[in-house]
Amino acid sequence: MNNLAFVTVSALGSVYSKSCPIQLKTAVQSLLIGCSFPLEIILVVDGYIPPALNDSIDCVAAISKTKIIKLPSNQGLGVALSAGLKHVSGDIIVRFD
């Protein structure tokens, strides 16, 4: 029996005020197309984001199993990813931009 049939994957990413909404959607679509395992997405919002990026996050959440973690202020990539790691439940963690 193939044990990979029971593997779950967590994809961890972070966005901040200068992140591109279109690139976020493209990255998530690529994850969903390319992953044949059950997938959860953990997306950390690092401080304030503009409305267009917030709309993209809403779209991503509507098409995938997504956990959105919001930091009250911009802390930087390392802190944001560390915060996201606390919410991972998959067997394998992949990082995405």
Q: What pLDDT sits at residue 94?
A: 93
pLDDT in tens, 53-92: 999 999 989 888 899 999 999 999 999 999 999 999 999 9
Q: Which of 63, 62, 59, 83 is CA-nearest to residue 71? A: 83
For the cut 70, the answer to whether the pLDDT of residue 5 exceeds it is no
| Cβ–Cβ < 8 Å for 57, 42 | no
Q: What is the pTM of this model?
A: 0.90
Q: What is the dihedral of CA 76, 82, 86, 89, to 10 degrees?
A: 100
Q: 11 - beta bridge partners? A: 41, 94
Q: What pLDDT sits at residue 11?
A: 94
**Average pLDDT over every residue of 6-23:** 93
